[in-house]
Amino acid sequence: MKKARIIFALVLTIVMTAQSAIETFAAVDLSVIKRILSGEKAQAQEPAAQDTAEQETVAEGGKALLLTEIDPDKPLVALTFDDGPTVTTEKVLEKLEEYGVTATFFVIGKQINGSASDTMKKAYDLGCEIANHSRNHNTMSSMPASEVSDEVNYTSDKIKEVTGEAPKFFRAPYLAVSSEMYDAVDLTFIQGITANDWVASTDTETRAQTVLNNVKDGTIILLHDFYGNDQTVDALDTIIPELLSKGYQFVTVSQLFEINEAEPEVHTGKIYSSVN
């Protein structure tokens, strides 16, 4: 009886060992076996490298934010552009992606169509903010309240239609405002420091230096991305690296208010060129 038990135990051990060997063999990549049989050395399979851009962005609410961590103790700046969306906007976005910074685009409602809509949506998906710059870019300070409302509401509706999010901020064309406008517009008015970049004779270096000489913590920079304004696009190659080297963090206008714990005012006659 004792001998029978020993034989049974040996048989059981052999069966279990064979089963383990079969499971191990099944898990082996056949390509590895082929290399071994042919005399090649098996190499460890490395995981596919992630795209650099994917590593540097964080998905949040379906948006890939260009700036994922903000240090409130370091200076902030909000880069903004008027008069898009246009093909120049695409060039601006390339610069923003290159340097890993974000911006706010104040768009003209009548231009939000076709490929321009796609450009605006791309900016939004990258983490940029979309704001209101009227429907037709006419001087609004002499308009009746009803016409002011129509201009602003049209563009706000177009922005929400494309991005799914209504704008919070408005910049008046030519920076021309009136008390009637403050009463009629349900958005916060934004201005900013300018660089005379809407004038073709202002060269690239002058645009860049004008911004750099006037920026401070909490500044809103006002530039333009209208069609053909390539000198401003080129100026970004100086503005952005210089500010980054000084420790500035690029944020949207909304982030500028949030980080500084400031409540954007509406219907008060307040217009912002900085928040700090």
pLDDT band at 203 (very low <50, low <70, confident <90, very high): very high
| Rounded alpha-carbon distances, angstroms, from residue 72 to 65, 217, 251, 260 | 17, 11, 11, 8
Give the tens place of pLDDT for each residue, 44-79: 333 333 333 332 343 344 355 455 688 978 999 999
Mean pLDDT, to the nearest integer, of 255-276?
A: 96
Name the residues annotated as catalytic: 82, 224
Give the tens place of pLDDT for each residue, 211-241: 999 999 999 999 999 999 999 999 999 999 9
Contact 177/271 with Cβ under 8 angstroms? yes
The pLDDT value recorded for residue 69 is 80
The pLDDT value recorded for residue 16 is 44
pTM > 0.85: no
- Pick the more confident residue, 59 or 38: 38
User: What mean pLDDT, rounded, does the chain reach?
Assistant: 83
The pLDDT value recorded for residue 29 is 42
